[in-house]
Amino acid sequence: MHRLDDELRSLQASIVRYAMERIALQPPPLDGPKSADELRALYGANVTEDGIGGEEALRRFVEGYAPATLSSDHPRFLAFVPVAPTKAAVLFDMIVSASSISGTSWLEGAGAVYLENEALRWLADLIGFPETAGGTFLSGGSLANLSGLHAARQAAKERLGGVRPDRYRILASTEAHSSIRTAADVMDLEVVEVEVNDPGRLRGEDLVRTWAKLTDAERNSVVAVVATAGTTNAGLVDALDEVADFAEVNGLWMHVDAAYGGAALASHLRERFRGIERAGSVVIDPHKWLFAPFDAAAIVYRDPNVARRALTQEAAYLDEINRAPDWNPSSYGYHLSRRVRGLPFWFSLATHGTRRYREAIEASITLAHESAHEIERRPYLELAIEPELSVVVFRRLGWDAEAYERWSRQALVDGVGFVLPTAYRGEKLLRFCFVNPLTTLDDVRAILDTLAIDPRPW
Amino acid sequence: MHRLDDELRSLQASIVRYAMERIALQPPPLDGPKSADELRALYGANVTEDGIGGEEALRRFVEGYAPATLSSDHPRFLAFVPVAPTKAAVLFDMIVSASSISGTSWLEGAGAVYLENEALRWLADLIGFPETAGGTFLSGGSLANLSGLHAARQAAKERLGGVRPDRYRILASTEAHSSIRTAADVMDLEVVEVEVNDPGRLRGEDLVRTWAKLTDAERNSVVAVVATAGTTNAGLVDALDEVADFAEVNGLWMHVDAAYGGAALASHLRERFRGIERAGSVVIDPHKWLFAPFDAAAIVYRDPNVARRALTQEAAYLDEINRAPDWNPSSYGYHLSRRVRGLPFWFSLATHGTRRYREAIEASITLAHESAHEIERRPYLELAIEPELSVVVFRRLGWDAEAYERWSRQALVDGVGFVLPTAYRGEKLLRFCFVNPLTTLDDVRAILDTLAIDPRPW
């Protein structure tokens, strides 16, 4: 299994051929899910004592299983936050696969970690962080948010000395990403919900109003205020400068979840993020709007030393790496063994340069505004929120929740597109999220056209 | 950047050529780290506004940066837990890179998730879990352990109703992996340290002794007892049956960290794991001793429903996937966006069959015992612990801590091997961890020979 014999050489050729074909597909098929029973019926067991051979396993994957997975890079995959890697990033991800580099420590992965740090530095510059900032790439925004909040609690613990509150708490708006609530649950933090006024953007006054209701003991227990720069649901950026003012006045760590929206720091919308440079930690996911493949989320800390104290794992077999003054990615996130998942992003950035990134991001912002216009000029549609970044939320007049869902299912089956309903202030609506530079206004028009038909036929 | 133009096609050819060469290298170069200053001096900035072009970025990586990363799959990489992927797994990891499949939900990745679940089922069968068991692949053992402990706390919360203890607690031995302590810190759990008797294996009597010292309130607050099946430092398996008895009597969740050692469930040593089938959750990392590339850790729950209640993220844009009865990997670990990181493991399993896995694992166990014998027959060496799985810990008579460290650094520089000192019961020692079937007894002998020389010249 570990030596490249003739059989494996032949398999290698088949696999490379398929990978190259998949990368060249323009567009890839959208495809769609099948049930577990349907998939089971296809071939029966693949994992057996004797094996089915590489060519057969590949054939089953290509013919049977792959068509039951959506292509997240399809230009009409507009649900959730899509992934739209550059070809260079995808190709280099294959080198990461081929190379068995451990990104755990400098000792093991110096050359690769150095390059990841170069990419992180670009993010830190976009944020406006000082030269001393730093962080790491993790498997996703969930883990990156957790790591940032853990560093924040470490800072609070150091401030509080030995005094332990009844609960540690964070302040987060009702529009914060789901991972913030789950992170808090995992960390046993209480979330003090901050109600926001229309249209879902956290403002300083919301924090002040919430803060006024807390007791002194509760205030002392707050370890961070969480701001969102690009809400997943509506693509809105909190009033970061006001949040930073509030955090500063009250001595709190400001954590900014810019997992989706942070890419727009490279666009003409940078001004809307004013105040982000005053955060303690910022999360940006290159696999979202910075064209890296799954999965690469970045966390950048203003003061990485706090994170290192919070997250460095201690054990006899780790002494050698912990004792060295080197940059160990394992010390800046909750992880140890680690794929160098930031490298494909670095390679694409190095290959194409940052200007082309800016242009590609601008293209999605422009498309969001053009789509909003398309929606407004159609009598059966109505914009629900004025798009700020690249999310567009709109309603189909006269439709109930079920009609939206039937339409969405049928649109996927017909290959029209992958668009999911969402809910905004209790109302079922439709939502586009644009991060793929290959998505065109014609794609959007084609999808919008199918919404003209009354829901009953669906 | 997103269209395969002529320039990118040419880059693609270069990248595939390099990846194929890297995969064919037998062995790859061991290589070694350089300082950040040395790496900076190589080429200066790679991330620029205009870009340096793919061919140049690739050249710099291949010629300058890659040689500053260790090859974790080198047969003489014997520090930490090495990675030793099969060729089939590495090749299929390239297809995962090429395919932009989201492993977040069944809706997005049905075909891929189905196959991951087939591989998980094999692990569940090795454990001896019932048909209803299930789990997911996460980026590493740290995250997998955290997910298991979070599910355990969920179960405790459901049992306790609304009653909240002063702290939630876990019982873990002093030999538990570092990630258990960091997970507890992240989760704000108190670790009740269980002192173990020689030689570092947790036994039922250790738990009973510790339990006796707890107050009733403290006992009520314990959410899990953590057992280790293959300690990282010494490769020892806790007395799982005794731990299971203790957990059963006291109504506790048993979490087994078998991240490294779980692979030996497929070997003739299965009997030493007796009791693992009574756990609530088990972690096994295929990127350790099951020949998957970075990074793939598996968590399997006896009752995945508890995990789902603990870990499902709630948000309007996730309603569609949460409402469906499908298997969403995002609900069984702390993650959302997700590379289908279990697929390369599945492909290799399907290709080669489980028997060849068993044989490859047996080979490392055999090598550990042969190495122990080699150590014993050399007058300047002494075995510190009788190897149980595939870790060998031994001393070089007459050397102090500094001599071990100097030798280790020099051995890496000379390309002799990558072996790090560890500490065991306060004493500095050397440690081999075997998971690579290509490591031979001749490799071991060559390394041991260099230890004959008195440390002063090093």
Q: Tell if the CB–CB gap between B8 and A70 is shorter than 8 Å.
A: no
Q: Which of A80, A320, A437 sits opposite B317 (nearest CB)?
A: A80
pLDDT in tens, chain A (458 residues): 999 999 999 999 999 999 999 999 999 999 999 999 999 999 999 999 999 999 999 999 999 999 999 999 999 999 999 999 999 999 999 999 999 999 999 999 999 999 999 999 999 999 999 999 999 999 999 999 999 999 999 999 999 998 999 999 999 999 999 999 999 999 999 999 999 987 789 999 999 999 999 999 999 999 999 999 999 999 999 999 999 999 999 999 999 999 999 999 999 999 999 999 999 999 999 999 999 999 999 999 999 999 999 999 998 888 888 888 899 999 999 999 999 999 999 999 999 999 999 999 999 999 999 999 999 999 999 999 999 999 999 999 999 999 999 999 999 999 999 999 999 888 999 999 999 999 999 999 999 999 998 765 54
> Which pLDDT value is given to residue B455?
60
First to last CA, chain A: 51
Q: In this structure, what token pair is assigned to residue B110?
A: 């049905």
Nearest CA in chain A to B149: A186
Alpha-carbon distance B212 to nearest alpha carbon in chain A (angstroms) = 26
Question: Are the beta carbons of A337 and B140 separated by less than 8 Å?
Answer: yes
Second CATH level (architecture) for the domain B92-352: 3-Layer(aba) Sandwich (3.40)
The count of C-alpha atoms lying within 13 angstroms of the C-alpha of B13, restricted to the half-sphere facing its C-beta, is: 5
Given a contact cutoff of 8 angstroms between Cβ atoms, the answer to whether A338 and B80 are in contact is no
B179-to-A334, A433, B52, B174, B430 alpha-carbon distances in Å? 9, 36, 40, 12, 22
**What single string gives the DSSP state of each residue in B292-304?**
PPS--EEEEESSH
- Tell me if chain A has a CB within 8 Å of the CB of B241: no
Q: Which of B22, B26, B47 to mutate to test the interface with A (most CBs of A within 10 A)?
A: B47
Q: Torsion angle of alpha carbons B336, B340, B346, B347, nearest 10°?
A: 180
CA distance B329 to chain A (A): 14
**Is the CB of A118 less than 8 angstroms away from the CB of B142?**
no
Measured between beta carbons, the chain B residues lying within 8 angstroms of A338 are 139-140, 294-295
Selection from A225, A139, A136, A149 nearest residue A183 by Cα:
A149
A231: closest CA of chain B, how far (Å): 11
Can you spell out the DSSP letters for A290-303? S-PPSS-EEEEESS
A287/B contact by beta carbon, under 8 A: yes
**Cβ contact B354–A47 (<8 Å):** yes
What is the dihedral sign for C-alpha B124, B130, B131, B134? negative
C-alpha distance from B270 to closest chain A C-alpha (Å): 17
A169 touches chain B (CB under 8 A): no
Measured between beta carbons, the chain B residues lying within 8 angstroms of A295 are 139, 337-339
pLDDT tens digits along B157-203? 999 998 999 999 999 999 999 999 999 999 999 999 999 987 789 99
Band (B319; pLDDT cuts 50, 70, 90)? confident
Distance CA B334, CA A143 (A): 7
Tell whether ipTM is more than 0.85.
Answer: yes
Interface of A with B in 18-37 (CB under 8 A): 18-20, 22-24, 26, 28, 33-36
DSSP string across A68-132: GS--TT-TTB-SSS-----HHHHHHHHHHHHH----S-HHHHHHHHHHHHHHHHHHHHHHT--TT
Interface of B with A in 242-281 (CB under 8 A): none
Question: Residue B129: is its pLDDT beyond 80?
Answer: yes
- pLDDT at position A316, please? 86
Order of strands across the sheet that contains B427-433: B381-383, B391-396, B427-433, B420-424
Pick from A182, A395, A406 the residue to mutate for testing the B interface (most B CBs within 10 Å): A182
Pairing of strands B253-257, B281-284: parallel
> Can you say how many angstroms the Cα of residue A444 is from the centroid of all Cα atoms in its chain?
23
Closest residue in A to B180 (Cα) is A313
The CA distance from A324 to B218, in Å, is: 39
Report the C-alpha gap between A181 and A189 in whole angstroms: 9
Residues of B within 8 A of A13 (CB-CB) are none
Per the CB < 8 Å rule, is A87 touching B1?
Answer: yes
Mean of per-residue pLDDT scores for chain B = 96
Counted across chains A and B, CB pairs separated by less than 8 A come out at 506
Q: Pull the structure tokens for residue B85.
A: 């992927």
Q: What is the pLDDT of residues B206-259, one digit of tens each?
A: 999 999 999 999 999 999 999 999 999 999 999 999 999 999 999 999 999 999
β pairing state of A427-433 and A391-396: antiparallel
**Alpha-carbon distance B170 to B158, whole Å?**
16
Give the Cα separation of A76 and A415 in Å (integer).
Answer: 9
A86 shares contact with chain B (CB less than 8 Å): yes
User: Does B112 lie at the interface with A, CB-CB under 8 angstroms?
Assistant: yes
Q: A226: part of which helix (H) or strand (E)?
A: strand A222-228
Q: Which of B18, B186, B284, B392 to mutate to probe the A interface, most A CBs <10 Å?
A: B186
Nearest C-alpha of chain B: how many angstroms from A99? Answer: 7
Separation CA A247–CA A279 (nearest Å) = 9
C-alpha span between B183 and A221 (Å, rounded) = 21
The continuous run of DSSP H or E covering B253 comes out as strand B253-257
Residue B456 has pLDDT above 70, yes or no: no
Which residues lie closer than 8 Å to A451 by C-beta, 6 or more apart?
Answer: A378, A380, A381, A396, A407, A430
Provide the pLDDT for residue B454. 73
Inter-chain touch B86–A1, beta carbons under 8 Å: yes
Residue-by-residue DSSP string for A25-78: -SSPP------HHHHHHHH--S--SS---HHHHHHHIIIIIGGGS--TT-TTB-
Going from N- to C-terminal start, the domains of chain B cover: 92-352
Q: Do A423 and B319 touch (CB under 8 A)?
A: yes
Q: Could you tell me which chain B residue has the CA closest to the CA of A69?
A: B109
**Using the beta-carbon criterion (under 8 Å), do A69 and B98 form an inter-chain contact?**
no
Partners of B255 in beta bridges: B226, B281
DSSP assignment letter at A322: H
A66 and B99: CB-CB below 8 Å? yes
Min Cα separation B301/chain A (Å): 17
Q: Dmax over Cα atoms in chain A, in whole Å?
A: 72
Neighboring chain A residues of B233 at a CB cutoff of 8 Å: 315-317
DSSP-assigned letter for residue B28: P
Q: Which of A49, A100, A350 sits opposite B51 (nearest CB)?
A: A350
Q: Quick check: B315 and A438 CB within 8 A?
A: no
Chain B residue with CA closest to A3: the answer is B87
Q: Do B1 and A352 touch (CB under 8 A)?
A: yes
Q: What is the mean pLDDT of residues B144-168?
A: 95
Q: Between chains, do B94 and A315 touch, taking CB under 8 Å as contact?
A: no
Cα gap A92→A74, rounded to integer Å: 20
- CA–CA gap between residue B384 and residue B424 (Å, rounded): 9
User: Which B residues 415-434 touch A at CB under 8 Å?
Assistant: 420-424, 431
Question: Is B16 close to A353, i.e. CB distance below 8 A?
Answer: no
Calculate the alpha carbon distances from A296 to A91, A123, A201, A316, B420 in Å. Answer: 15, 13, 26, 29, 30
Scored b (16 or more CB within 10 A) or e, A293-314 reads bbbbbbbbbbbbebbbebbbbe
What pLDDT does residue B324 have?
86
Does A320 reach chain B within 8 Å, measured CB to CB?
Answer: yes
Percent of chain B with pLDDT over 70: 99
Mark yes or no for CB contact B95/A61 under 8 Å: yes
Cα–Cα–Cα angle for B34, B36, B37, rounded to 5 degrees: 100
- Fold topology of A355-450: Aspartate Aminotransferase, domain 1 (3.90.1150)
